[in-house]
Structures are given as C-alpha cells and as structure tokens.
Structure 1
Amino acid sequence: MEWSAPGYTEVKQLGSGGSGRVVLAVHDETGVRVAVKYLSEELRRDPEALARFQSEARLLVTLRDPHIATMWEYVQDHDGAAIVMELVNGVSLRALLRENGTTGPEAALTVLKGSLLGLARAHRLRLVHKDYKPENVIVRDDGVSKLVDFGIAVREGATARPEGTPPYMAPELWAGAPASPATDVYAATAVFFECLTGHRPYRSTEPSVLGYQHVYAPIPVQDAPEPVRELLMRGLAKDPADRPRGAEAFVAELEETARAAYGDDWEERGRRRLAGLVALLALLLPVPETPPAQASTSLARTVFRGGHELGRTVARAARHNAVRLAMGAGLAVVVAVAAVFVLASRDRLLPRPIDVAAAAPSDSAGPAELVSPPATPVGATESATPEPAVFPPESTGPAVIVPPTSDGPTPTATRGRAPTPTATRGRTPTPLPARTTRRPTPRVTVTPPTTQPPTTRRLTTSPPTTLPPSTLPPTTLPPSTPAPTPVPATSVAALALGGLTVNEDAVAAATVTIRATGLAPIGASATWAVAGETVHTERLRLSGRTTYTRALSHTLAERPCGRTVTLTVATTPAAPGGARTTTLSVPPCPTTVTGLRVSLDMSPSPGTGAATRVRVTTSGTGEVPVQARFAVNGDTVGTATATLGGRISYSRTFGQGFRTRPCGATLSVTVTAGSEQASARTRVTCPPGVRRVSIARATVNGRGAAVAVVTVSTVNDRPVRLAVTFSAAGRQHTEQLTLSGDTSYTRTLSHAFGELPCGARWAVRAATRPGAAGGGDEASGSTPECPPEEEPSHDPDPSTDPPGSGPPVTPSPRPDEPTTDQPAPGEPG
C-alpha cells in the first residue's frame, strides 16, 4: 500500500512520473476536492531531493495569485511527503495543443497574458520559474489559465545547474548563465509561438543541435501571423538584455499589440475560444460537471434529489408517517415538519475550515512535477477568493470556526463563541460567504520521524451534529386539526457596508452586515468596480440566522492607482432603501519604470551623427527623468536629457553629432530612466569613398613623353585605388597606385610612347575605385602639326661671300627637350 496523506481520501490518480504521482483526493472533514502531489519513495530517501520538495512547498506558500495554483498544505512524516494543492478543474495546455494543433491568435494571447501575470507575481519576489511549458499551464473550463509546478524555481541571479525543458530553454541557460525573469519571458514566448503555429520554434531532437538553434538560429517569425511578429522577436531575442526585463513589462506590450490587431474585446473572445476547446476534452477534466441538487414536493410525497443522507432519511420518515394520516391538512403538516428539519440541519452539516500555519520562503528549488488545479465543488458559492469564511458569533446557532491568523497556537472551535483571532504574518485572511464550501488555508506541517506512527491532527473543526432518524417522531393528528398559521416571509431589515480597503497586492476588501426578519434564505450580490467599470460579481446565499457579517474581497488585475474602487451590495429581497455602495479613492502610486529598451544607430558613411531610440514603460503617469550619455571608446562625448510624464508608455529619440566620423571606434550610449538603466553600443564602420578626382595638368611632346598631374579628395583616410590611362596614336598605357592615410592627394604620373607622328591625338584619363561622386576626369590634345616644305634656293658661292654674311644657324634641340608642350584644358599656353 502506498502512503497517503492523513486526513485525505484518494479518489483517482491524475498523473505519475519519475519524481512521484499526483492524485485527486477529498479532504475528509470538509469534503473539499484537492490535488495531492506525492514525492516518490526513492526520492524521499534522498536528502537533497527531499530538501528540494520542501523548498517548493515553502515557495508556493508565498505565491498567492489568481493565475497560480494555490498550495493548501504540506504534510511529511517518516512514511512519506506530500503537497496538497488547489484542484483546478481543467486540462493542460499540452492536451489542447495535442488535440487541436493551434489555439488561434486571440486564445494564444489570452494564455500568454494569464501566464505572464502569474510569472509577474513570482518575479516581484525575485523568483524565476525556469520550467515554463505547456504541461505546466492548466486551462479551466471557463477559459482562465493557471500556472503550476515551481519545482526547479530559483532566486533571480542564483547560480544553479542548467535545468529546464530543452525546447523552451533560453539561450543563457544553454550557456550556463544565471537565470533571470527574462528567462521565463523567453519560455513563455516559445509556448506562445507553439500555440500560434502548432510547432515549437526549434524542433531538433539532438540536444546539441537544439542548443545551437536556440543560441544562434534566426527566429522563425515568418511562420506566425504578422500582427504578433514583433512580440515574438522581443520575447525570443537571443540576448536577455534585448527582451522585456520581466513578465509585467511584457504584459503592457502584449495588450497594446492585441488591442491594435484584434480590438478591445480580444481577451473575451480568447477566453470563449479556450473554453470551447476545453469543452471538447470534457472527459479529461478531473471532476466532471454534475447537475445541482433539486427538491420537489407533490401532494402525496416529498422527493429529495441530490441531497445528503439525512435528507433521504427524513423523506422516508415523512412517507412512513403519511400512510397513517388523512389527506389534506394532516399531510401538509408532515411535509412542513420535514422541510423545517432539513433546513435546520443544513448549517450543522457545513464543512469546517482548516487551520493555518505559514511557511517561510527558501532559496532552494524543488523537483518539477505537473499538478492539476481545482474546481469549485458542486453547491459552492461563486467567489474569487479561496480563504475560509469567518462567521460572527451568536448566542444560539451552529459552532463558529475562526481560522488563526498568526503562527501561534491553532484555536479550537467552540459552540456559542468565537476564538479571538491574532495577527497574520504579513497577510490578512479573506473570508468567504456563508454558503461557500470552504477550502483549506495554506500551511506547512512537518512531523519528524519517530518510532511510533504519527498522530498529527491538522484540522481544528467541530464534528457535525447529526440527529438520528428517530429524532423526528411519528405525528398523528386528527382530521379536524386546523392548518398551521403561515409564517411571515423573511425580509431584509438592514444592510450596511464598511471597511473598504485596497492593499499593496491589489486585493480589495470590505465588510457587509445584513439583518433579516427571519431564518429563511436570502440572497446577496456583491459587485466590484474600478473607475466605474465592473470587474467582478459574486453571489451569496444566507440562511439560518437573523444577522450576518461577511468579509468580501477580490484581487484586482492591478493596483488601481489614482482611481476609485466601488463595492455595491444588493439583497434579495431588497433592503429598505435598496442597494448600498461604498467607494474608495486610491491615491496615485509612486511612478516606477517597469521597462526600458535602448537601441543605437550611426548614420551611414560618411555621416557624422548618431541617434539612440529609448522606449520606457512605467507603473504610473508621474514624471520620470531620462538621461542618455554618449561615449566613444568609453570616453563621454555628450549627454542628452528629458522628462517624461502623463502616460505609461513612451518612445524618445536622442541625437549626438561629431565633427568627423569616428571611424573604427566603439560608440556607446547609457540611458538612465528613473531607477532603471540600460545601454547599447555599435562599432563605427567607415567604408572608403572619393569625393572628387581631377587632372590638373597634362602634356605630350613630339618625342612621345607624356606627363599628367592628378588630384584626389576622399571622405576618409581609408585606401583608394587611382588609375591613370595615357593613349596616343593608337597606343595605350595605364599607371595604377594606392592612396591612403589622408583625405587629399596630388600625384604626378608619366609615360614615354617614343616618336609620335605630327598632329597625332592623345588623351589622359583618371579614375578611382571606389568611384568619385562626380565620376573620373579626362584631358586631351594633339602633337604639333608638321612644318610646311620650303622652296629650294640658290645659295651664293661661299667663296665669294665675305665671312659671317651667310644665314643664321639654329642649334638642334636636346634629346630630352619636348617638341610640343600642350597645356591642360583651362591653362594658358
């Protein structure tokens, strides 16, 4: 026989694995259905595994959130260890995906938002879940999802061994880096991707390949709908600094995207879609839906359907006595007696609340395991709070059970008076309405191993008082007995509200007092509204007393900073003057920065300006100072400041100019917004560029000697290639050289063609690589024309001419002296 937690009766097994099993059980004294997570016997004998299991229990005590399955109790003795959890009547997100493939965008956004809100509660306590996956998300039959299994959760920044489910592990976990809230954001986005597309972002079955894909592979956003691709890029960013810093910051981006893409009622449609998918898997629900109990009365018999055993006993007694009565008034008396007896017994048969023992949080983590969350048992009052009800004392009536509110001794229920409550460690219990089936309050009870069987009593309740069937004696009345006088109908004489508060965890609470004129049932509805918009309604059914005091509470989606919270209570029948309303104006909350994103860009070369884009999300609309500090190679070169206010989401751009482009340097920016800081950096690249190239002078003489003077202006000192091509009389030659280290160059290039014919055309062309902004340059000309031929002349006889009387002699030019000097275009000859 496997060990089971004392005080709980196992109904069926919900799941099992290497670390243990999860069962559906019933709490013996209250009848509340719960999920019990048992640690396997092998792991229980391992001190490290047992310590992790205990740590998970301690951690869960601190996580009280509508989007996280609540832990009721931890039980341990020398035979076993168990965590008693809230039983969520739903199916895992994995089952929905396995059956349907995808959920659709609105349903996927709804699941992501619910999960992020649950993760946000953990992140506010500096805890990282580390194992978010579809198996750990339970979707209820109303479309609301809850997060379970914090078995390997760790403190933010804690160094721990790489753990998690590989298809959803963030790149930093594969690299062995510490986990952060951004790690959970990555996993939640990966599951969001799977809900949209029907497959995981990266699907390799080889661990080393899968790890490489998470760290280096591009994000396959093309598989997802276009409106949510930016969300996927943000949540699946490789660098944790490029993701939202936590779940709470990501929620604001999600809601903005969802409203823009799918309208203001996207979340309502998403929940309807999820509820429909769960309905298709109704056979997988831990607790099938059952019809409520009904009662009907005919002239000859009273029939109780779905009631408890006492009701059937009374019905049989009534039918037995009716045989000996005449038809008419006598039968009516018997039926009336039976009905009164059942109503009087109902309060005594209500389950009693469970006592409380708080547990301190721990830094260590427990093993991962799937826990299915719970449904409200049939007949329970609608309420959003799992805390036990607190009933006011009366001089006569059923026993009053007040849960303890501190770590002190557990009070024992007494008939006729209530024990005095004490202060809770950092929390005030929130009671339920009178007819609510009370759920256990979280506690941790550890019984040290002993040689004798454990005798731990965890529940402090008074046993129900059940009268035997003989309590209702046979009644024989003569036919002439007159009918009983009709009892006046019960009405509401007074209705009052008080004590409306909203605490730091966005829990609104108030007290309602109702005075009735009789013991018959009356109804009440409590409606919560924020800034005039209804956010929650719960209904109460009260009977058996003339005065009722109930503590009402509701956990709001967020703290309503600077807005009004209103509670309206109406009764049936109506109270004199109608419904009552109480309003609380919540003061503005201190504005804090919840998200900060920074990007940095340098203008394309040869530009000299830089710009940083800053995106800020805040918790309120108060002013937030922002400063952007620019630096080159770590040295500050400029600062820009601004003050933001009036909104909760901002986008600002700050610029920085430079005299010259800081080629090859590292440009960085550090942005401080409120108490948050983020940075970005980039390497300034400077590709070579040429502004202008020109030929300042070019000549070719008659002997074929060519000379060109070329100037080049560049955008930076990066190397450029200069090519100068000489051509003349069908012959061509190119000179090439590299220019670098400056931004202005002048070079003289030459080439010898040899003898050229008279009047031959020549040209010089200069070009660069990369090309100049205006292209290359060219100069051209021709060699001198040949001189005309002279007429022959008769020279006089030199013997008759006197010396020195002949024609002048012109010396021949030197070989290196040009015969033609053609100026470049634009130069004087």
Structure 2
Amino acid sequence: MEWSAPGYTEIRQLGAGASGRVTLAVHDETGVKVAIKYLSARLRRDPAALARFQSEARLLTTLRDPNIATIWEYIQDADGACIVMELVDGVSLRALLRENGATEPEAALVVLKGSLLGLARAHDAGLVHKDYKPENVLVRGDGVSKLVDFGIAVRQGTVARPEGTPPYMAPELWEGLPASPATDVYAATAVFFECLTGHRPYRSTEPSVLGYQHLHAPVPVHDAPVPVRGLIERGLAKDPARRPAGARAFVAELEATARAAYGEDWEERGRRRLAALVALLAFLLPSAEAPPPEATTSLARTVFRGLHANARRVAMGGALATAAAVAVVVVVLAARQSPPPAEPIGAAAAVPPSQAVTPGTPDTPAPSGTPGTPTAPEETPAQTPASTREAAATPPVTPLRTPLRTPLRTPLRTPLKTPVKTPSRSPATTPARTPGKTPVKTPAKTPVKTPAKTPGQSPRPTVEVTPTPTPTTAPVTRVLGVSVGGLTVGENGVARGTVTVRTSGTAAVTATASWTVTGADGRTERLRLSGARSYTRALTWSMRERPCGATVTLTVTTSPAAPGGARSASLAVPPCPTRVTGLRVSLSLPDAPGRTATAQVRVATSGTGEVPVQARFAVGGDAVGTRTASLSGRTSYARSFTHTFRSRPCGATVSVRVTAGGRTATARASVPCPPRVRQVSIVRAAYGDGVIVATVAVTTSDTRPVRLVVSFAAGEGGGSESVTLSGRTSYTTTLRQAVKASCGARWSVTAATDPAAAGGSDSAGGRTGECPKAEEPDRTPSPRSDDTIR
C-alpha cells in the first residue's frame, strides 16, 4: 500500500509519473479538499532529489500570490514525503490547447497576464521559475489562471546545468548562461504565441536543431495577429537585454497593447472565453463527480490514463506533465546539489503570523471525557486495520490547522466512522466489544465514551468491567527544542525569519516572537501551535525602510519554556550605499588664446560613503575626453575637472555632462576668439608716371597664413594685387599697379585681409597732376617806325 499523508483522506488519484503522483484528498479535521503531491519512493531515497523536493516546499511557502497555487504544508516522515497544496479546480492550459487549439487573442492575453503576475512575485523574491510551460498553468472555471510547479526554480543569476522544457527554453539556457527574469519572460511569450497560433514558435523534434532555432532562427511573428506582434518580438528577443527587464514590466506593456487593440473590456471578454473553454472540459475538473467504480479498477486512473499518456508524449527534456487538473510533477534534467536539511521540514505557514493565533482556542485541551466537551468518536478494534495501527505508530506530521480552521464541508471520514457508533447499532453489540476493548483503552475515557456509544444501555454494567474508573490527566506537552534562522532583510525593509519548534506531544504550546532593531521600536507576535510535534513558521516584519548599518534580531520564547530558554538570531544589515542628494555643474574657458575648459562640480550626499563621479567633455556634441573621480569621507564636495584642447575651439560650443550616483547635470559654453588679423593699414601710397605704389602693414595674432588683397583705382580704370603672408605676426609689404589716368583724375588704394582684420580694411588716395597750360601770344603792340622811343 502506498504511503498517504496522515490527517488526510485520499479521494482519487489525479495523475502519476516517474517522479511521483498527485491525488485529490480531503483534510480530515475540516473537510477542505486539497491536492497532495507525493514524491516517489525511488526519488525519496535519492538525497539530491529529496533536497530538491524540500527546496520547492520552502520556496512555495514564501510565494503567496493569487496567481500561484498556495502550499498548505509539507509532510515528511520515514515512509514518505509530500506537499499539500491548494486545490485549483481547473484544467491545465495544455488540455485547453490540445482540445480547442488556438484561443482568441483576449483569452491568450488574460493567460499571459496572470502568468506574468505570478512570475513577477517570484522575481521580486529573487527567483526564476525556469520551467514555465502550458502544463504548469491551471485555468479555473472562472477564467483565472494559477502558476504551479517550482521544482527547478533557481536564484537569479545562478549558472546551472541546462534544464527545462526545450520548446520554451530561452537562448541563454541553451548556451549555459545564467537565468534571469528575462528567461521566464521568454518562456511566457512562447506559450502566449502558442495560445494565439495553436503551435509553438519553433517546432523541431531534434534537440540540436531546436536549440539552433531558439538561438538563431527569426521570430515567426507573422503567424500572430498584427496588434500583438510587438509583444512577441520583444518577449522572444534572442538577447535577454532586449526583452522586458522582468515580468512586471512586461505586464504594463501587455495592458497598454491590449487596451489599444481590443478595448477597455478586453480582460473581461478574455476570462469569459477561458471559462467557456474550461466548461467544455468540465469532466476533467477535480470537483467533477466520478462514476461508480467497476470491479476493483481505480476509477481515477481509468479516467486520467489517456491524459497521462498524452502528457508523457508532449513532455520534453525530461519534464513530465502528470496532472492536467491540479499540479505537474516534473522530472528535471539535472538535480541540484544542495544537501538535504538537517531535519524534516515542518508545516509551512499559510497565513501571516499575525493571523496564526485563533481566538477561542484553549491553551491546553480539556481532558477526555469532560462533561460538555465534544470528543471524537473512538474506533473499535474492527475499524482499525493493521495499516492504520502502523501509521499511528509513525512520528506525527504537521497538519496546517490555521488556514483550514473553518470547515468548508463535512469531512468525508466522519460519515464512514459514525455508523459504527450511532444509536442504530444493536445494544447487544456494545457489551460484546466493550470488555475486549477496555484493557487497551485509557481508563479515563471509558466511563464517558461507553454511554455515548451505547444508547439505552445502563452505564453500570460498563463500569463494572472497567478496571479503574478513576480519571487520569493527559500528559503535559513539553517543548523539546527551538531554532531560529533564515534571517533576511530586503531592500524594501521587510525582514524575514524562520522558527522551528519541536514538542513532546500534540497539545497546544505558545511561541512568542519578538523583532528588534538597533535604534528603533520592534514588533512582537504570538503563535499558537497544536496538533503536531514539529512546527516551522515563516515570520515577517515590514519596517518603514531598510535599517542600514543596524542589527535586526529575532528572539523566540515558548510556553512552556524550551530547554535553555529563549532562542534568537541576528543579522547585521550592511550600511546603505550613499545617495547623491544634489548635483550642480558650471563650465568656463579662459580668454584667447587659452585652450583649457574647467568644469566646477558640487555634490551633496546622504552619507560619507564612496560616490563615483564622471565628467564627459564634448565639442559640438562629439565627445573629446572623460574625467573620473571617487568622492568619500564627507557629505558635501566641490571638485574641478579640466580638459585641455589641442587648439582653442573658436566659435564652437563646449559642453560637459557630469554623472554622480545616478544623477546627471550638464553645462555648456560658447568659445569666443579674437580676430586672427588684428590690424591692416596703408603706410604710404603715391601716384607717379602712371603707376600707383602702396606700402601696407599687417599685424596678426598667430603665424597662420593670411591673404592680403590690395585694390587700385584711377579714374574709371584700376586693378588689384594679392599676396599670402605667413610665418610671422607682423608684416610690411609694397605693391604697385600701373594705371591709365588723365590729368587731375582721382586715384585710390584699398587694403583688406582674409580673414578680416579687427578694424576692417584701410584705404588711401589722391589726384593725378594737373595738365600743363598752353602758351598765350604776346599781345604788346610793336612800335611803329615813326614812333619815338623815349
């Protein structure tokens, strides 16, 4: 007979495979239906496989999310190990795709969103699922999906042997690179693609070819509807850096795309479509009533045999989908090498610690047989087969009493046991059984139990056959040991720890957990533990902010006290990185001919820790130099960064971009330059014999070449002469030009430079000489011969 979880009654098997089986069961105390995932006996004897199974249980206790199937407890003893989980009354996404093919886009988007939200919760905890596929997504009758099976989940950045399901493995897994949240985004997008199209992105059955396709083949985006192609291209990018950084970031993109393409009510329509698809497969739901069994065949196995065979067919890479309705038991490609824990894992907390104490629960149960106290009916020897007696001798397990405290329906076991003890029994039956049972029963229980079990029978005869009617006190439960560990403090200021309590009995004990932190108020909570001999509880404390540089301590005391008293564990939180609270920068250049730009940087910080600073100089947007420095020891800094140019960047814009501790500041400055030609002047200019002669002086700021142009004009004619000056900063040159000019005409000379001089050009001029005058005749009258000269 296969081992079954104590405290639960199996209804039927939902699936089975090489790694174990999954059953539908009911919690005996409350009647709540659950799914139990058993580890096979072969793997339980393998320390690595057992450690991996325990690791999955621990991991699931930390992932409380509406989109992840909740774990109720982990049970392990010498005969078996199992995980008791929330019963998801739905069918696997694989079953929906197999029976209906592609879904409508809105339904595919709803599945993707629910899965991404579940993955985001894991990513927030620093985990990567690494085996997301349709078999690990369960869709309920209301269209809500839940993520299951974290059997090969790893910490972000972990490099491990390639493992997963090949059709959905991201390129980095094929190359043996670390897994990241982008790895899960890739797998979720591949499943999204399959929901849209009815087939996987890459369909080769040869592993080497399939790996090449994931690494190098183009994304077959044209098979998908146009509005969602952008999501597929992003999610299936070969480079993880080009995918969304995580599942939560991808959800934002998904919602924006869905609203734009399918309207504001896309999610409601998608859930209705999924609910309709699930309704078509209602016979696969765990809650579906099974037909009466025929002969000795297990009906559950008969119903699900086809599904199980198909699961073996579609599973790849060593992963086996074993339950289309509840959970998936996965055989991983490579076992993780983490050693098993020193002792079995106790019950996993299913509610926050603050809810663990149930008002009205007595500290110590009342003695059996106390008047007015309802007691569970006892079994007669005929009702206790050998297997049950052997199970009673095994160490007790740790049922999770708190989440199952409120009965949802009558336990299935009670009706089966009640007919033996109801008044319909013949009175003659009880006396026959009572004498044979009395010697092995506790005398204190016999006086009370017997009248209740035998209506109409006088209690007197029963008392006469009882050896000792004197009531006895139930043994006191002692606390055998307490351990505290697993302390962590997240970036969000949430402290987490684990408490394990071992007791000598199953009566109630109280554990008081006190959180303290250096320089701040703490928190105290009480846990009521009962019904088992070993308990493990995960505790949390949400502080307002991360207590940087402080010590967080978790102290646990018990009542009754444990040997050695209280137990505690402490964690020294490292100092927080120094934050930059202020950053300013200014840029200056000296007057020409200066070539050095100086950036003045002022930095304000929240602490004295190290702050890296980088200054990037650019001319016209093109980087020309970078300067770096590290600041520490103060909370305010003034630092200069300089860059010397080969030549003064005259007329250009110089900029500097400073980055410090995640902050950025920029400054710019224009570079003025004086003219290269300071002055040009005409020293002498003259005209003579049809030639104009000009002597010109030029002064420059550097020795670079300067072109001198001298223009000559006379009357209506003229010309020009040019010469290139270089090698000096002061020049004097004489230029001449022959001109034809009439007498008394104006002439001029103009001297200019390229580049232009600071004062512009210079000019000089004059007039040609006056033309000579003609001789006038002598108009003095000549003397006549008869004139007398006196």
Could you tell me the TM-score, scaled by structure 2's length? Answer: 0.42
Greater helix content? 2
Larger radius of gyration: 2
